[in-house]
Structure 1
């Protein structure tokens, strides 16, 4: 009887062990600077990313989301996620850098361990003419209500990614 009980306890212990799936507890990129491969433009899709060691938060803005506005006015543009813009969170096997996103030939390492695409939310872009510089616009990008759901159906609730960052575009001639 004693062997039977120990074998049941052992079986439960083996079955309850983690299968190696990553558990994403928090996504925090507020203190990380926004990066991009080529200078942002107002009339195209733009790819921005934030890197935090072996994690990345990737924002692909829809075509024309960086509105170049009217001199003297502040313009607010909203882009819904995922129907217009995409927000993706990735965890890598090792530290990642800008070249991972910008090289013409994709790098082999580090590898993506987990990727979660936002299922809901809004990208809000506030555009204004730069102070003391009439040749560029400043775009403050914020994320609102971004909702990630993992492959296991778990919702990531501890998000600290409200302020995505600031980028500049050139005022068109």
Structure 2
């Protein structure tokens, strides 16, 4: 009887693992294109995102951070996370597309099954004038981004060297 009890106890412990616990080991958006709903602005916050099947990385740039260009110069601007800009990582129940972020009425599916906000890091923006001298090209990089899950686990294994590029018009006087 004792052997049967121990066997049942061991089997119960073996099968009691929860498949519902989500483990995020790495966040990889390096080969994914940058997207946005409205043309980036120099005067308002900008929402930029990357979608990788059922995952999304969302960057909310602080207002005015793209308005740092100087004709003829390369300008480097930094925005701290989360004080000035925010980065959010989401996992969905199914593949997601641009419409999820851009539709006036959000879709009911797919459902967000996990969301983690960055608690540390920098958004570094290098701004140069394009070859036609009509736009500023802003190359956005992330540095030292650190996410902390609801379980208190820190995710620092990020594969996001360059977030992407956006352009804004050079203001005319």
The reply on whether 1:157 has 2:156 as its aligned counterpart is yes
The reply on whether 1:69 has 2:69 as its aligned counterpart is yes
Residue matched to 1:7? 8
Where 2:38 maps in the other structure, the secondary structure is coil
Where 1:38 maps in the other structure, the secondary structure is coil
CA contact (8 A) 1:29 1:50 kept: yes
- TM-score of the two chains, using structure 1 as the length reference: 0.94
Q: Which runs of 5+ in 1 are unaligned?
A: none
* CA apart distance, 1:63: 0.6
User: For 1:78-97, what aligned pairs fall within 5 Å after superposition?
Assistant: 78-97=78-97
Distance 1:31 1:164 in 2: 9
- Number of aligned residues: 171
Distance 2:128 2:66 in 1: 11
* CA apart distance, 1:66: 0.6
* CA apart distance, 1:11: 3.3
CA contact (8 A) 2:40 2:168 kept: yes
The reply on whether 1:171 has 2:170 as its aligned counterpart is yes
Where 1:70 maps in the other structure, the secondary structure is coil
Residue matched to 2:56? 56
